[in-house]
A and B are shown apart, each in its own frame.
Chain A
Amino acid sequence: MSILDSKIPEGPLADKWTKHKNTINLVNPANKRNIDVIVVGTGLAGGSAAATLAELGYNVKTFCYSDSPRRAHSIAAQGGINAAKNYQGDGDSSYRLFYDTVKGGDYRSREANVYRLAEVSGNIIDQCVAQGVPFAREYGGLLDNRSFGGVLVSRTFYAKGQTGQQLLLGAYSAMNRQINRGKIQAFNRHEMLDLVKVDGKARGIIARNLVTGEIERHSAHAVVLASGGYGNVFFLSTNAMGSNVMAAWRAHRRGAFFANPCYTQIHPTCIPVSGDHQSKLTLMSESLRNDGRIWVPKRIEDSEAIRAGKLKPTQLAEEERDYYLERRYPAFGNLVPRDVASRAAKERCDAGFGVNKTGEAVYLDFASAIQRYGKEKALTSGIHNPTADQIRELGEKVIEDKYGNLFQMYEKIVDENPYKTPMMIYPAVHYTMGGLWVDYNLQTTIPGCYAAGEANFSDHGANRLGASALMQGLADGYFVLPYTIGDYLSHDIRTGKIPTDTPEFDQAEKEVTDRIAKLMSGSGENSVDYYHKKLGKIMWNKCGMSRNEKGLREAIEEIAVLREDFWKNVKVPGTANSMNPELEKAGRVADFLELGELFAKDALDRRESCGGHFREESVEQSGEQEGEALRDDENFKYVSAWEYMGEPKDAKLHKEDLVFDNIELKTRSYK
């Protein structure tokens, strides 16, 4: 048997969570007051976990690198949050949400975890409404829903294009209530630099006060890591500038296994890169694909003329355009899942049909939607012979009502009016499905160290469906972790406060200060960004939307060489004992330089195509699916969990076999 024990409760799928909750140990309220919990990260998962744990009575310390928990990157999520409420009466249920999530993840997630996620999803909406989250409503006063890619029901709750913001501010308000009661101590502008283990258990962290540069010791009976994903290993992504893998990676180095690092979501609709100065990428919500049609010119000469600025897209007639998603996937058309849409865009651009000056962009065109809505609106407004201008004006108004804030954002960035000329979009790194390996209780392979939200690997398999990230973060924090962590802490009621003046804390602090000193002592040839950009290029070119053995082997070599150079030649100005954003960046990039190599190693091991992981060697050779991704369930139906053994190249692979008792494994077809 594998050393990985997922601890999935016995019994029928639908009863597992209830049964588990009924049988795990509890901690009585008086004892909770003597137990400390550290939560690293204050986004949806960390914020909701901190608030709930504090409310239960534990003493909570939260840590975030921002000046306030309200700035965590969950705030940038646009589209919505899924929940199997079946308010629309369209046949939704926990089972359907579970099924869609497992299928959308290309059968690489754990059934029991996903079912629990679906089961608690409805509760999230109840909770958030009670907190005063202003979701969109219908005229009757009840909650409104919309649909998202890859599903057949309307189960997405939303607050315009700012759902993440509203949910995060909800969790932040729940935290504030506990801060006001003194049950949460918030350490903002602090960064976790290491995990401290005592007798094999997670018992604290070493953190740096980012304002003073002071190194601090914090102890607790358990540590929750809710520090988000690692998309910034690509340098350019839709993540925030500060998003990083440090907390998770430090835990990995201390013994927590890292699962499926190669599963990355590359989102198809982002604003394309405009030049070398670019610092980050901006997402345009998936909801735009409901009304936008994606195309490139049919003739390569036309693409060349557009790139040279000699031709405008609006000058091309309908028959001169290649609506390649509609052509290749007639059943789903422009609404194929994210991984499929992204690869198709790359395929066209690689073939020379890209449309902006870098050749890496395709059109997302609203002209037909504007016409369609305009005609409909003219009819319902009683205009019988509308002119072309009237139709256009009415249609643009409908589009503005639906997507106004996104169109405004696009115009500010690109300086083109997307109502008049098609938007240009290109795929960008958006979310990482991989993360710390956790069991059913969300505990990592280090006892007492838990991982929640994007930082763990558990629910999305190889591809995440839209509007599911917010659901998972809040499910973990509000409804799962507060129960499961009690089971572990019930053994700690007699432990007493964990002292920080012990050899374990001494040793961890020394390692942290040595590492900082080493970062500061580089010869000073190149800035941190120089290395981060180079790493990003390697990742994007060789571990991006499509991967092959040769490229992955090269990536492993190149990243190792780059890492060595980084440690010799990085230039970090300023001092270690004062505010120093360059030092913060250097520490994060140092970890990305290790994670990147493990990422490539994981991608190399997985010689199948599944979800966001596409191996050029593994494609359908014939039939209707010719050229599409080919999953290999016989050989790769497992979670890769990597154990740290020193250099990333020496990491040891452990496999957790995925068992599907309730779902039949099928080929994902969108033809």
Chain B
Amino acid sequence: MNLTLKIWRQSDAKSQGKIVDYQVKGIEGDMSFLEMLDVLNEQLINKGEDPVVFDHDCREGICGACSLQINGEPHGPDRLVTTCQLHMRMFKDGDTIYIEPFRAKAFPVIKDLMVDRSSFDRIQHAGGYISVNTSGNTIDANAIPVNKDDADSAFEAATCIGCGACVAACKNASAMLFTSAKVSQFALLPQGKIEATDRVLAMVNQMDEEGFGNCTNTGACEIECPKGISLENIARMNREYLKASLKG
């Protein structure tokens, strides 16, 4: 198939960006969206032009690096996939596709389609851990039994890949789904309960400092999340936060 691409080009954080049109030909349905961009870049390199910069790495939907806003949706039109797993069979010959970076104040553009998501890391630095030493003198693993349902729910929350689609989908650019996934994982496990108060306060505080917006329960984040992280986590974080605030 032949496609028209309208791609956001921006040479660095300080420059003004703009949409530039490109044509690609001979795209096959079996190609992933990023392989289609590889074709475009090969074409640009051979013409002596600057290739389009985008984040990507594992190309199997787990590292969370890829981050494109495709026709207005994070990771494009398919559900429960990252951009690298989106296949071109979702498009038709002659389609025009808009490709932009994830947009949020807390995700400044680095170049073209690549954004800086270090704000996510800083939220994790603030409290996304259990303070246990790693030198190997802990108690036996089976000395901490965990109810299977809680363990499964903790796992579901822990599958967040930190891609930022939730923020890009949200009209408030809120990072509540991302932050609540980690808060939930630990809130559901006995190991995490000890530091629960400090953790939720520190992480929410950092989230606010980074300039993410608040949650107004629109639910777009859950729909666009490639891992299907549930809104229930936000509710759980709100409960944890309220509890923690009362404790002080």
List residues of chain A with CB under 8 Å of any chain B CB. 48, 51-52, 55-56, 66-68, 70-73, 75-76, 85, 87, 120, 123, 125-132, 134-143, 159-160, 162, 165-166, 169, 172-174, 176-177, 179-180, 186, 188, 211, 238, 240-242, 274-275, 277-280, 282-283, 408-409, 412-413, 415, 478-479, 482, 524, 527, 529, 571, 573-574, 578-579, 581-582
- B139 near A130: Cβ-Cβ < 8 Å: yes
Q: How large is the interface on B (under 10, 10 to 19, 20 to 34, 35 or more residues)?
A: 35 or more
Contacts of B31 in A (CB 8 A): 275, 277
**Shortest beta-carbon distance, B230 to chain A, in Å?**
15
- B134 near A48: Cβ-Cβ < 8 Å: yes
- B125 near A179: Cβ-Cβ < 8 Å: yes
B248 within 8 A of A: no
* 7 A-B residue pairings within 8 Å (CB atoms): A127-B138, A131-B134, A134-B185, A159-B155, A279-B59, A283-B60, A408-B80
Contacts of A143 in B (CB 8 A): 141-142
Interchain pairs with CB closer than 8 A, number: 214
- B146 near A137: Cβ-Cβ < 8 Å: yes
- A527 near B45: Cβ-Cβ < 8 Å: yes
Partner of B120, one of A68, A278, A573: A68
**Shortest beta-carbon distance, B47 to chain A, in Å?**
10
- B124 near A172: Cβ-Cβ < 8 Å: yes
Interface residues in B108-156 (C-beta closer than 8 Å to A): 110-111, 114, 116-118, 120-121, 124-136, 138-142, 144-148, 151-152, 154-155
> How far is it, in angstroms, between the C-alpha of A127 and the C-alpha of B137 when the chains are bound?
8
Write the chain A residue with the least CB distance to B132: A130
Contacts of A68 in B (CB 8 A): 117-118, 120-121, 162
- A162 near B151: Cβ-Cβ < 8 Å: no
Contacts of A56 in B (CB 8 A): 135
B211 within 8 A of A: no
- A142 near B50: Cβ-Cβ < 8 Å: no
Contacts of A573 in B (CB 8 A): 44-45, 48-51
Contacts of A126 in B (CB 8 A): 136, 138-141
- A280 near B60: Cβ-Cβ < 8 Å: yes
B16 within 8 A of A: no
> How far is it, in angstroms, between the C-alpha of A358 and the C-alpha of B155 when the chains are bound?
39
- A-contact bits for B43-74, CB 8 A (1 contact / 0 none): 01110111101011111111111000000000
> How far is it, in angstroms, between the C-alpha of A139 and the C-alpha of B149 when the chains are bound?
8
Q: A48-B134, A478-B134, A527-B46 are in contact. Are A173 and B51 (CB under 8 A)?
A: no
Contacts of A129 in B (CB 8 A): 138, 141, 144, 191
Partner of B35, one of A73, A277, A283, A478: A277
Q: A134-B151, A578-B12, A582-B51 are in contact. Are A274 and B57 (CB under 8 A)?
A: no
B42 within 8 A of A: yes
B232 within 8 A of A: no
Partner of B45, one of A55, A137, A166, A582: A582
Write the chain B residue with the least CB distance to A139: B148
**Shortest beta-carbon distance, A578 to chain B, in Å?**
7
**Shortest beta-carbon distance, B34 to chain A, in Å?**
7
> How far is it, in angstroms, between the C-alpha of A529 and the C-alpha of B55 when the chains are bound?
17
- A142 near B142: Cβ-Cβ < 8 Å: yes
Q: A173-B124, A176-B125, A179-B125 are in contact. Are A527 and B56 (CB under 8 A)?
A: no
> How far is it, in angstroms, between the C-alpha of A51 and the C-alpha of B31 when the chains are bound?
39
- B35 near A278: Cβ-Cβ < 8 Å: yes
**Shortest beta-carbon distance, B11 to chain A, in Å?**
8
- A275 near B159: Cβ-Cβ < 8 Å: no
Given contacts A55-B134, A134-B151, 14 further A-B pairs with CB under 8 A are A51-B134, A56-B135, A67-B118, A70-B162, A130-B139, A136-B151, A136-B155, A160-B155, A176-B125, A274-B30, A279-B59, A282-B60, A413-B87, A579-B111
- A165 near B60: Cβ-Cβ < 8 Å: no
Contacts of B130 in A (CB 8 A): 130-132, 173
> How far is it, in angstroms, between the C-alpha of A479 and the C-alpha of B136 when the chains are bound?
7
**Shortest beta-carbon distance, B185 to chain A, in Å?**
7
B20 within 8 A of A: no
> How far is it, in angstroms, between the C-alpha of A571 and the C-alpha of B60 when the chains are bound?
28
> How far is it, in angstroms, between the C-alpha of A478 and the C-alpha of B134 when the chains are bound?
6
Q: A279-B35, A482-B135 are in contact. Are A132 and B192 (CB under 8 A)?
A: yes
**Shortest beta-carbon distance, A475 to chain B, in Å?**
10
- A176 near B124: Cβ-Cβ < 8 Å: yes
Q: A120-B136, A160-B155 are in contact. Are A85 and B60 (CB under 8 A)?
A: no
Write the chain B residue with the least CB distance to A529: B42
- B148 near A279: Cβ-Cβ < 8 Å: no
- A527 near B59: Cβ-Cβ < 8 Å: no
> How far is it, in angstroms, between the C-alpha of A21 and the C-alpha of B209 when the chains are bound?
45
Partner of B138, one of A130, A137, A166: A130
> How far is it, in angstroms, between the C-alpha of A71 and the C-alpha of B110 when the chains are bound?
18
Question: Interface majority SS on B: helix, strand, loop or mixed?
Answer: loop
Partner of A138, one of B34, B116, B120, B148: B148
> How far is it, in angstroms, between the C-alpha of A88 and the C-alpha of B51 when the chains are bound?
54
Write the chain B residue with the least CB distance to A48: B134
> How far is it, in angstroms, between the C-alpha of A421 and the C-alpha of B184 when the chains are bound?
39
Query: Max chain B CB contacts within 10 Å: which of A139, A173, A242?
Result: A173
- A71 near B134: Cβ-Cβ < 8 Å: no
- A-contact bits for B192-215, CB 8 A (1 contact / 0 none): 100000000000000000000000
B241 within 8 A of A: no
Contacts of B65 in A (CB 8 A): 66-67, 71
B97 within 8 A of A: no
B85 within 8 A of A: yes
Contacts of B25 in A (CB 8 A): none
Write the chain A residue with the least CB distance to B127: A180
> How far is it, in angstroms, between the C-alpha of A447 and the C-alpha of B177 when the chains are bound?
47
- A134 near B62: Cβ-Cβ < 8 Å: no
- A581 near B53: Cβ-Cβ < 8 Å: yes
Query: Max chain A CB contacts within 10 Å: which of B50, B58, B64?
Result: B58
- B148 near A134: Cβ-Cβ < 8 Å: no
**Shortest beta-carbon distance, B68 to chain A, in Å?**
15
Contacts of A130 in B (CB 8 A): 130, 132, 138-139, 141, 144, 191
Write the chain B residue with the least CB distance to A83: B141
Query: Max chain A CB contacts within 10 Å: which of B34, B53, B59?
Result: B59
Partner of B57, one of A71, A136, A159, A413: A71
Contacts of B220 in A (CB 8 A): none
Write the chain B residue with the least CB distance to A140: B145
> How far is it, in angstroms, between the C-alpha of A554 and the C-alpha of B158 when the chains are bound?
49
**Shortest beta-carbon distance, B81 to chain A, in Å?**
6
B186 within 8 A of A: yes
> How far is it, in angstroms, between the C-alpha of A320 and the C-alpha of B118 when the chains are bound?
57
Write the chain A residue with the least CB distance to B27: A277
B89 within 8 A of A: yes
B39 within 8 A of A: yes
> How far is it, in angstroms, between the C-alpha of A259 and the C-alpha of B78 when the chains are bound?
45
B95 within 8 A of A: no
- B138 near A76: Cβ-Cβ < 8 Å: no
> How far is it, in angstroms, between the C-alpha of A242 and the C-alpha of B159 when the chains are bound?
22
B5 within 8 A of A: no
**Shortest beta-carbon distance, B72 to chain A, in Å?**
21
- B89 near A415: Cβ-Cβ < 8 Å: yes
**Shortest beta-carbon distance, B111 to chain A, in Å?**
5
Partner of A131, one of B51, B126, B132, B151: B132
- B120 near A180: Cβ-Cβ < 8 Å: no
Closest 10 CB pairs of A and B: A141-B145, A173-B129, A134-B155, A130-B138, A129-B141, A134-B154, A71-B63, A177-B129, A240-B57, A274-B30
- B118 near A188: Cβ-Cβ < 8 Å: yes
Partner of B189, one of A48, A134, A408, A478: A134
B21 within 8 A of A: no
**Shortest beta-carbon distance, A351 to chain B, in Å?**
26
- B139 near A166: Cβ-Cβ < 8 Å: no
> How far is it, in angstroms, between the C-alpha of A566 and the C-alpha of B209 when the chains are bound?
48
> How far is it, in angstroms, between the C-alpha of A179 and the C-alpha of B118 when the chains are bound?
13
**Shortest beta-carbon distance, A486 to chain B, in Å?**
12
Write the chain B residue with the least CB distance to A53: B134
> How far is it, in angstroms, between the C-alpha of A180 and the C-alpha of B39 when the chains are bound?
42
Partner of A76, one of B63, B125, B132: B63
> How far is it, in angstroms, between the C-alpha of A87 and the C-alpha of B31 when the chains are bound?
45
